[in-house]
Amino acid sequence: MVGNGGRGWYAKVLAAALGVTAVAGLTSFWNAHVGSGERPDRGVAAPPAPSQDRKAASVAAGIVHASDAGARGVNITIDDGPDPVWTPEVLQVLRDNGVKATFCMVGTQARAHPDLVKAVVAAGHRLCDHTVSHDVTMDHKSKAYQSDQIRDAERMITEASGGVRPLYYRAPGGAFTPASRHLAASRGMRPLGWNIDSKDFERPGTNAIVDTVKNEISNGPTLLFHDAGGDRSQTVAALRELLPWLKEQGYSFGFPVR
């Protein structure tokens, strides 16, 4: 064991062996070659790391709807999961059609099913913070409550994913406030709205979900579906029909702009 008096000498020797200089150089080497984001997995020794609460670069606080795929782009967004039954089904439909989506996850669901969060990330989809408890009245609650809902869900999702942060924030039921939007944006999560509510949450039947999207596709690029909150078999069936149809109409699939 190296005593307190010898730690500086030891760090310099180790830094020299790695081809860098002094302790500051060792820290730079670690960040460059191991990673400067979240701490490595538990049980792996590492130099002192930045706080896990370190913010990403801030983004605009306005609610975004536009697609990075351009004028004929659409954004598929999937809310309220992950769910052990329906998220894998949705992922399979997306995979079959070569489509990437944005998954707006509830913090407690992400914490309960980290394997599914990792599967979403591994498939190339993006994460969105949908608060801890999906309280659709949070716009009537205190700023402190809103902050806890957003920050705690962000932490739960990031931990469940293995360190991948959510890039967006969607308020439950659209219950945005100026305070919640600016807080999310300051943490690198663009507030995310929608243009077309497929109404799948109400389970009106697969044909009704499909018809809603087809009739409203001119309203804008961001489509809202769900992979949790009950039986989502109609959603899966509707996506299986809608994704090829959207391609046939000349649409391409993207992510909400940041």
Q: Return the H-helix or E-strand segment holding 116.
A: helix 114-122
Positions annotated as catalytic residues are 79, 226
Per-residue confidence (pLDDT) for residue 27, from 0 to 100? 33
The two structure tokens encoding residue 188? 């690198």
Of 19-23, 39-43, 106-110, 228-232, the one with minimum mean pLDDT is: 39-43
* Contact (CB, 8 A) for 132 and 106: yes
Q: What is the pLDDT of residues 181-223, one digit of tens each?
A: 999 999 999 999 999 999 999 999 999 999 999 999 999 999 9
Of 29-33, 125-129, 161-165, the one with minimum mean pLDDT is: 29-33
Q: What is the pLDDT of residues 20-45, one digit of tens each?
A: 333 333 333 223 332 222 222 222 23
190: β partners: 168
Nearest 5°: CA angle at 42, between 37 and 47?
Answer: 55
Of 163 and 48, which is predicted with more confidence?
163
Domain boundaries of the chain, sorted by first residue: 1-50, 73-254
What is the chain's alpha carbon radius of gyration, rounded to the nearest angstrom?
Answer: 21
Q: 203: burial class by Cβ within 10 Å (0-12, 13-18, 19+)? A: middle
Fold annotation for 73-254: TIM Barrel (3.20.20)
Of 4-13, 127-136, 145-154, 172-181, the one with minimum mean pLDDT is: 4-13
